[in-house]
Amino acid sequence: MTDLSTLGPVAEEIRPFWRHIERVHYTPPGLAPRRPLYIGSMTADARIGSLDGRLEEHLKNCLPPNAIKAGGAVVLAEGMGLAEGAQALRDLCMALLDVEAGPRFGEWFDVFNEAGNLCGEVERGLVPLLGTRARGAHLNGLVKGPGGMQLWVGTRSRTKRLDPGLLDHLAAGGVGAGFSPLQTMVKEAGEEAGLPPELARQVRPSAVLHYQLNRPEGLRRDEIHCYDLVLPGDFIPQPVDHEVERFELMPLSEVFDRVRDTDDFKFNVNLVLIDLFIRQGLFSAEGGEALRAALAGMAPGTETKQASGGPS
Amino acid sequence: MTDLSTLGPVAEEIRPFWRHIERVHYTPPGLAPRRPLYIGSMTADARIGSLDGRLEEHLKNCLPPNAIKAGGAVVLAEGMGLAEGAQALRDLCMALLDVEAGPRFGEWFDVFNEAGNLCGEVERGLVPLLGTRARGAHLNGLVKGPGGMQLWVGTRSRTKRLDPGLLDHLAAGGVGAGFSPLQTMVKEAGEEAGLPPELARQVRPSAVLHYQLNRPEGLRRDEIHCYDLVLPGDFIPQPVDHEVERFELMPLSEVFDRVRDTDDFKFNVNLVLIDLFIRQGLFSAEGGEALRAALAGMAPGTETKQASGGPS
């Protein structure tokens, strides 16, 4: 990522937003090294993720002995086809869940290798431990008000496991196995905010953002599909499944100030909002340009490259 | 890239647009293999491009003998710092220009390695031969008309070397060494369309697109910075530098039809317009989603990965 101090006068304008982007690049020092994880062969295209150091004690029991290679990489179903690879990945997940190496959500995410091929599924709770990429969908629920654009903002339930009480989008969620990001968006918008499908299906896919960071739960390598939807003024969202405590309609200028001055929004919501602010013209052209480049700079390269700040 | 036939009913809607994206993935068969090109060390992060097979006859005369490694890779300034690397790259360019290995434009582009570090400059005419990444900037010049959104469309001069007579953006250009994409955009908008700087500086950076394809001139690995600008209705663009024959204001719905049904627009302009159409809601949500994913799928991985359809 560019050093902000090289950006000249525009640095002051964007510094308070830049920190949200910098934060998703952060790798804390002292992490145990991760083992690169492949399916089928030890080539860059066949890589799917990397195993967390916390899994070390389980590897001997949960992996076929020939899967661990000299040099430390792990290769599942070497020389075999996609079906065998998917089965080997499922076997690994089931074995890790059996020994309670990670939490069990009862929800599975699709896994793709670096060549973009679907390779199988990983239990959601194991995703940060296996370092596979996860997909999410976020909805900017907009209303054109008399004083300018407004945004529907949710307050996350105080009982949520992650980030309770923080501000969030009208709807957002992880993309489960077999679903597309759009299907997820329509489903979540119905479940979380009571948005009728016929309205939700008018969303506009506005951007795809990537980030990678280490959190307490492990490595988060996320691909966020962002959507805009301009809602009719008489639509009032309802917290259907109680993941959200309440919704409020906030002028976009106020959202802008909150993102700038506080950490009130969930960490990845800030990224989606910065993309929206750029497109809504809330930055100078230079400021928008620098932030756009920082967001685009998070596009997926190899995991090794992105994690180069880390010890592994 | 996803196989369109797997997308179900939405395939019919997007097929005519999809072909423009597919086209920028195309690698013709039978190309001579390219030598990977590095500066400083033979690591993925230090790679800057790949040498065209047409340069083979010149390599012995234009490279220090120790630059060509067993296996065929070329490493400039091995073990040295950024300044020495930039000088070695300039030396290579000057030697290739001296033997007329490629055309001389008198214009240089910045070169970045895969880690994102500025490594030096390459003469514009050599960029496709050295396979380095080039940056461009494109402007969607929009006008809100009574019947909907309109777009300023230029017709390229019949005397241009590349793509004469094709339809083009209000302004677009390659990013020269030392310039940012935004500075380029403001400069080109003035030079090509007579847009005053104070107006041009209100552009909104809307997307960054990538593609890689082989063209007659060599390997094009482009990073396109896209901008939107809603112009006042009384602004009439002027073809200042005669790169453009004429400008016309076209309803966005007509632009949509032209992109769908013809190849009238320059190949990369179609990509920028597809991004605009998605954001303007001209596709169904499913159609926009699939096209957005295809555009995002062109984000830069390693060159090898992107060119995997090719013989090298």
Summarize pLDDT for B65-79 with one digit per residue, the tens.
899 999 899 999 999
**Confidence band (pLDDT; 50, 70, 90) for A312?**
very low
Q: Does B299 touch chain A (CB under 8 A)?
A: yes
Are B289 and A181 inside 8 Å of each other by CB?
yes
Q: Does A201 touch chain B (CB under 8 A)?
A: yes
Nearest-CA neighbor of A116 among B211, B116, B306, B223?
A: B306
- Determine the pLDDT at residue A31: 76
Helix H or strand E segment including A83: helix A82-98
Contacts of B44 in chain A (CB under 8 A): 302, 304-305
Over pLDDT 90: what percentage of chain A?
A: 74
Instruction: Give the closest of B207, B210, B302 to A44, CB-based.
Output: B302
Q: Does A308 touch chain B (CB under 8 A)?
A: yes
- pLDDT of residue A300 exceeding 70: no
- Determine the pLDDT at residue B310: 29
Helix-, strand-, coil-residue percentages of chain A, each rounded to 5: 35, 30, 35
Rounded-to-integer distance, Cα B7 and Cα B24, Å:
20
pLDDT one-digit tens code per residue, A84-143: 999 999 999 999 999 999 999 999 999 999 888 899 999 999 999 999 999 999 999 999
- Determine the pLDDT at residue A213: 86
Contacts of B1 in chain A (CB under 8 A): 116
Tokens, residue A98? 């059996």
Best-predicted range by mean pLDDT (A209-218, A236-245, B71-80, B297-306): B71-80
In angstroms, what is the C-alpha Rg of chain B? Answer: 20
Instruction: Give the closest of B44, B202, B286 to A305, CB-based.
Output: B44
Window 108-147 of A: residues touching B by CB (8 A cutoff) are 114-116
Cβ atoms of B90 and B121 closer than 8 Å:
yes
DSSP A265: B
Contacts of B104 (CB under 8 A, 6+ apart): B97, B123, B125
Domains, chain A: 4-28+134-306 (3.90.79.10), 35-130 (3.30.750)
Q: How far is A281 from chain B (nearest CA, A)?
A: 6
Where chain B has pLDDT below 70, the residues are 1, 27, 298-312
Q: Does A299 touch chain B (CB under 8 A)?
A: yes
pLDDT one-digit tens code per residue, A2-43: 778 777 888 999 999 999 998 887 767 777 789 999 999 999
- Helical residues (DSSP H) of B232-284, grouped into ranges: 252-261, 267-279
Are B115 and A45 inside 8 Å of each other by CB?
no
Are B203 and A308 inside 8 Å of each other by CB?
no
Helix H or strand E segment including B252: helix B252-261
- Determine the pLDDT at residue A6: 78
Cβ atoms of A119 and A111 closer than 8 Å:
yes
Over pLDDT 70: what percentage of chain A?
A: 94
For range A69-98, the mean pLDDT: 95
Q: How far is A190 from chain B (nearest CA, A)?
A: 16
pLDDT one-digit tens code per residue, A270-290: 999 999 999 999 999 999 999
**Tokens 């830069």 identify what position?**
B300
CA distances from A161 to A195, A311, B109, B204, B292 (A): 24, 29, 49, 37, 32
Are B278 and A308 inside 8 Å of each other by CB?
no
For range A162-191, the mean pLDDT: 93
